[in-house]
A and B are shown apart, each in its own frame.
Chain A
């Protein structure tokens, strides 16, 4: 794949589309038809979507053009084709989490992000595929079949938000939303060569996001460039009274932040970062450090000793919360039900038939970790490690404004290469997970290619509400490639 492929399929950025539609030089319906055309041509191969909403999208685009014609401003995302990960509630439209257990369920309400994006003029083209309940790193765990990486159909797009990453990479949508619990936005962004942002925990409302691990889940954007990511973040961010964990503090504009360079900024290199990234990934990371230094930043060494314990702590905390969050899928009120002679049997037959293997594995893990007699040794200990990681990061951020790491240890891998080995799959998220545990923001910015010409992402990490610095660094990296 040449570097110009993405530019060919998605010639305009979201900011350019919105600007054109608002000024009347572009028609939202034309923009939409270009994207629907690409979907028609390649979706059969890629399978980014669980549902393409062509009719609804055409109606929305028509309404936006009508609003512009009537002299009204449809908003800062006017006519921007948007894809939503299929774990975000959309009123009256199936929301499946790529699980059989939610078969037939249509939410009676919209997630807060969905409401905000619609109000900003975005046009939702569909609901994207994911690892079932966002559990996985390859989108192979979908009950509806895997999504393929549009850059190489033999390879995974990453996960769990693989459909959302693939949709942007393939030009099916200008932008998309994913959710990131342990890397589920950043890792597929890296593997598909797009920008992916995991905001500070509480930056974006989780209301209407189907929970996987509530203390870690966070919604964020996939975009073709850093500016579009800033544009989306400025729209989806902000306090929401419907989410008690949403941050009440005002959030500075990231569109404004990226107008600043990185002169004087301190870029941290984690000297005790877990090894294991492929050489091509390490090489691109080194080039990123050099680029930021060349742009006026200072490189500083920091230590985050507990970083390496993130993976194990995560695989106790996330499944524990998931075991509770997913207990509601019992066949009583909505979704799939397998009838049985008594209630308890109905629960177990429904849940056995409705949940895939990985989801069942994590429910079992989490149930065990929270059980009487095991809590202290597993869940309780993991919480302590979580605290250590956050403390280590906080210390590092007294020395550095942002940290740079690989996003994924490898480029996109081939289907089935890790499917039989959960531990190998879990290692995909070794660099992304600690950020979630600390509640900090992180983003993946494409930074060239590695083996097989596949994209490599560099991860930029920052402390709580450190998005402005993170975005400045991201924008500088992007400029250094131009």
Chain B
């Protein structure tokens, strides 16, 4: 990759003379795609981001050996001749790792293709063989996509298998870097752990989209059971390729940002880097193609290495492995056993509840895996929209098997939604009843309402009460009439208090509005 105007897409390394990697467009000069009308410009510059996400697969054993793939064990206990790269040791591919990678590829709408492994050669103390077995120009999964909750499609160039390195801890230097350290300790437990590297196309235009992409990707990985995808434990790691350019002009020079350890940091790092690059250009300087290190402490990116001192990885076909050709039937088995993915689940829940697919309630409930429950409430004759809100507000996240919410029969919630939507109780009363049902692991909403003396006020009584509230709160009413909408809050609050919570807040609001205009 010699061009300085290459796109922000990730490449698996310097082209070692081996065939070049699939690129979205031939040639080296890229121009921005068609305008969609919703780009967000920063001082007239468009941000272009491509993400490389590494995920550790949740396999029992390592990618090429029988040692356990387990986080947090005593250092150097999950090792063997293959893991340590001992002379004479040979890799044997882990079928479960391939299968999980195929699940990822299928979930990302990739084409699963016959593929091969290459050696990526470079020296580093925690790289036992001094080469990483990775996939180069023949990756397992290609040409996929990921749909953000708002509907935007981000291209996925490839998702390939490779092995992780060991973990070095450097002592005596500054900032835990090898440079200047007096000694280092290496834990090879992580060496050989299977990774899938998911490389997006440079389709991301804002730091928020980048965050959404990673959040969505994480949800997909969890849904298919491919990884526990914990950024804090390093089982999901994200590098960002960032460039800026003026719309209509070729893509700018990209910088790769490493060491981003949370989704929040990702957004901050991208925003910082975009600002840095724009400031450089605006002051007449050039952006240098380089790898930069995000420093969480000072909130900046720092040069790690420039393009000039980038390694020549001398990729060549791994002679110790044979080509991997997934059979049609294996691919079909995986397609047939795919769980429903978050996007589809959100769309399904949105359709059943009338809520927006990228709204907070749908997002949260699907993320918690409670969407099936909401649907079963609707199936039991309940109101989907209310059920969605109840579950979002009152149901503890799943995974907590002591939560009585799990035991609540959908029919109980359905009955409660119907009490509320029919106007028999107010939203506030419904909330009280819901809390009781959840706390008790179930209950008859109507019986609880009766026991508590809950009944909605009829319209005549309500109107009389509202008139009384207006009379009692003349100052607030005057402000409200005078156009101060915030004064409404005080009036509604007073009405709720006067009715001891029996008034329907929405009706009170409607009445107040009606009285202002007359």
Q: Which of B88, B121, B129, B178 contacts A207 (CB 8 A)?
A: B88
Is there a chain B Cβ closer than 8 Å to A47's Cβ?
no
**Contact B88–A107 (Cβ < 8 Å):** yes
Complex partner residue of B130 from A88, A215, A328, A373, CB under 8 angstroms: A328
If A108-B86, A209-B88, A371-B16 touch, whether A320 touches B316 (CB-CB below 8 Å) is: yes
Q: Does B505 contact A (CB under 8 A)?
A: no
Task: Give chain A residues whose Cβ lies under 8 Å from the Cβ of B129.
Answer: 327-328
**CB contact between B17 and one of A87, A105, A371 (< 8 Å): that residue:** A371
**What residues of A have a CB within 8 angstroms of the CB of B178 in the complex?**
343
Q: Quick one: given A367-B314, A375-B16, are A244 and B86 in contact (CB under 8 Å)?
A: no
* Given known A324-B314, A324-B316, A370-B314, contact A242–B92 (CB-CB < 8 A): yes
- Neighbouring A residues of B312 by C-beta, 8 Å: 371-372
Please state if A328 and B87 are interface contacts (CB–CB under 8 Å). Answer: yes
The 8 A CB mask of A190-227 against B (1 = contact, 0 = none) is 00000000000000001111110111000000000000
Q: Are B88 and A214 in contact (CB under 8 A)?
A: no
Residues of A within 8 Å of B17, CB to CB, are 370-376, 379-380
Contacts of B125 in A (CB 8 A): 330, 332, 343
Q: Quick one: which of A214, A241, A370, A374 contacts B92, CB cutoff 8 A? A: A241
Residues A281-330 near B (CB distance < 8 A): 320-321, 323-324, 327-328, 330
A360 at the interface (CB under 8 A from B): no
Is B225 at the interface (CB under 8 A from chain A)? no
Q: Mask for B125-147, Cβ within 8 A of A = 1, else 0?
A: 10011110000000000000000
From B34-42, B229-237, B319-327, B404-412, the one touching the partner chain is B319-327
B148 within 8 A of A: no
Q: Is A144 part of the binding interface, using a Cβ–Cβ cutoff of 8 Å?
A: no
Partner of A211, one of B88, B92, B315: B88
Q: How far is the CA of A14 from the CA of B106 in the complex (A)?
A: 57
Q: Closest residue to B85 on the A side, CB-wise?
A: A328
- Interface positions, chain A 211-260, Cβ under 8 Å from B, are 211, 213-215, 241-245
Among A213, A214, A370, the one with the most B-chain Cβ atoms within 10 Å of its Cβ is A370
Shortest distance in angstroms between B311's beta carbon and chain A's nearest beta carbon? 10
Determine if A111 is an interface residue (Cβ-Cβ < 8 Å): yes
| Option from B92, B186, B316 in Cβ contact (under 8 Å) with A244 | B92
Among A105, A206, A334, A347, the residue within 8 A (CB) of B90 is: A206
Q: Bound state CA distance, A334 and B92, in angstroms?
A: 23
The A-contacting residues of B in range 69-93, CB under 8 angstroms, are 81, 84-93
Determine the interface band of chain B, counting residues with CB < 8 A from chain A.
35 or more
| Smallest CB separation, A373 vs chain B (Å) | 6
The listed residue (B14, B87, B119, B316) touching A210 by CB distance below 8 A is: B87
**A109 contacts which chain B residues (CB < 8 A)?**
81, 86, 89
In contact, B87 and A107 (Cβ under 8 angstroms)? yes
Is B15 an interface position by the 8 A CB rule? yes
Q: Which residue of B lies closest to A202 (CB)?
A: B322
Report if A452 contacts B (CB, 8 A).
Answer: no
Min Cβ gap B191→A in Å is: 11
Cβ A327 vs Cβ B130 within 8 A: yes
* Interface size range on A against B: 35 or more
- B330 contacts across to A, CB distance below 8 A: none
Task: For B123, give its contact among A245, A327, A370 (CB under 8 Å).
Answer: A327
Interface check B18, CB cutoff 8 A: yes
Interface string of A344-376 (1 = CB under 8 A from B): 100100000000000000000001001111111
User: In the complex, how many angstroms separate the beta carbon of A375 from the nearest chain B beta carbon?
Assistant: 2
CB of A403 within 8 Å of the partner chain: no
Nearest CB of chain A from residue B107's CB, rounded to whole Å = 28
Q: Could you tell me if A214 and B319 are in contact, using CB atoms closer than 8 angstroms?
A: yes
Chain B residues positioned under 8 Å from A141 (CB to CB): none
Total inter-chain residue pairs, C-beta < 8 Å: 117
A151 interface residue (CB < 8 Å to B): no
Q: Of A206, A244, A376, which one neighbours B93 at CB under 8 angstroms?
A: A244
- A62-87 CB contact bits vs B (8 Å, 1 = yes)? 00000000000000000000000001
Instruction: Report the nearest A residue to B65, measured CB to CB.
Output: A242
Chain B residue with Cβ nearest A320: B316
How many Å from the CB of A449 to the closest CB on chain B?
37
> Contact at B316–A379, with CB atoms within 8 Å?
yes
Task: Given A244-B321, A375-B16, answer yes or no on A328-B88 (Cβ-Cβ < 8 Å).
Answer: no
Cα A9 to Cα B184 with chains together (Å): 55
* Cα-based distance from A332 to B312 in the complex (angstroms): 21
Chain B residues near A275: list those with CB within 8 A: none
Asked if residues B88 and A208 are in contact (CB atoms below 8 Å), the reply is yes
Tell me whether B128 and A328 are in contact (CB under 8 A). yes
Report the minimal beta-carbon distance from A6 to chain B, rounded to whole angstroms. 32
B92 CB contacts on chain A under 8 angstroms:
241-244
CB contacts (< 8 Å) of A347 on chain B: these are 123
Minimum CB–CB distance from A327 to chain B (whole Å) comes to 3
**A262 interface residue (CB < 8 Å to B):** no
Chain A hits for B16, CB < 8 A: 370-372, 375
CB-based contact B119/A324 at 8 Å: yes
Residues of A contacting B130 in the complex (Cβ-Cβ under 8 angstroms)? 324, 327-328, 330
Specify which chain B residues have a CB less than 8 angstroms from the CB of A241 in the assembled complex: 92
Residue numbers in B under 8 Å from A211 (CB-CB): 87-88, 320
Which residue of chain A lies nearest to B180 when distances are taken between CB atoms in the complex?
A342
Asked whether, in the complex, the Cβ of B18 is within 8 Å of the Cβ of A327, the reply is no
Query: Taking the complex as formed, is A95 at the interface, i.e. its CB lies under 8 A from any CB of chain B?
Result: yes
**Residue ID in chain A nearest B17 by CB atoms:** A375
The answer to the question of A102 belonging to the interface, with a C-beta cut-off of 8 Å to chain B, is: yes
The one of A102, A244, A245 in contact with B87, judged by C-beta atoms closer than 8 angstroms, is A102
User: CB within 8 A of B91: which of A111, A210, A244?
Assistant: A244
A209 to B312, CA, bound (A): 28
A107 CA to B81 CA in the complex, in Å? 9
Decide: A371 and B88 in contact? CB cutoff 8 A. no
Contact of A244 with B322 in the complex, beta carbons under 8 Å: yes
Confirm or deny: A404 has a beta carbon within 8 angstroms of a beta carbon on chain B: no
Q: In the complex the two chains form, what is the Cα distance from A324 to B314 in whole Å?
A: 9
Chain A residues in 8 Å Cβ range of B18: 375, 380
- Per-residue A-contact encoding for B1-35, CB less than 8 Å = 1, 0 else: 00000000000001111100000000000000000
A108's closest neighbor in chain B, by CB?
B81
Minimum CB distance partner of A215 in chain B: B319
In this complex, what residue of A is CB-closest to B93?
Answer: A244
- Tell me, rounded to whole Å, the shortest Cβ–Cβ distance linking A326 to chain B: 9
CA of A330 to CA of B128, assembled, Å = 9
List chain B residues, Cβ under 8 A from A376: 17
Contacts of A210 in B (CB 8 A): 87-88
Residues of A within 8 A of B316 (CB): 320-321, 324, 370, 375, 379
Kindly state the separation between the CA atoms of A432 and B119 in the bound complex, as whole angstroms: 28
Please indicate the chain B residues that have their CB under 8 angstroms from the CB of A323 in the complex. Answer: 121, 314
Complex-state Cα separation, A388 to B130, whole angstroms:
31
A440 to B131, CA, bound (A): 28
CA distance A332 to B130 in the complex (A): 11
Contact B88 A327 (CB under 8 A): no
Given A245-B322, A330-B123, A88:B128 Cβ within 8 A: no
25 A-B residue contacts at CB 8 Å? A89-B86, A108-B86, A109-B86, A111-B88, A209-B88, A211-B320, A214-B319, A214-B320, A320-B316, A321-B319, A323-B121, A324-B119, A324-B131, A327-B121, A327-B123, A330-B125, A333-B84, A370-B121, A370-B315, A371-B16, A372-B312, A375-B16, A375-B18, A375-B314, A379-B316
- Sample of 8 more A-B contacts, CB < 8 Å, known A109-B89, A324-B131: A207-B90, A208-B88, A214-B320, A324-B314, A328-B85, A370-B121, A370-B316, A375-B316
Q: Which 6 A-B pairs have the closest CB atoms?
A: A375-B17, A327-B130, A215-B319, A370-B314, A214-B319, A210-B87
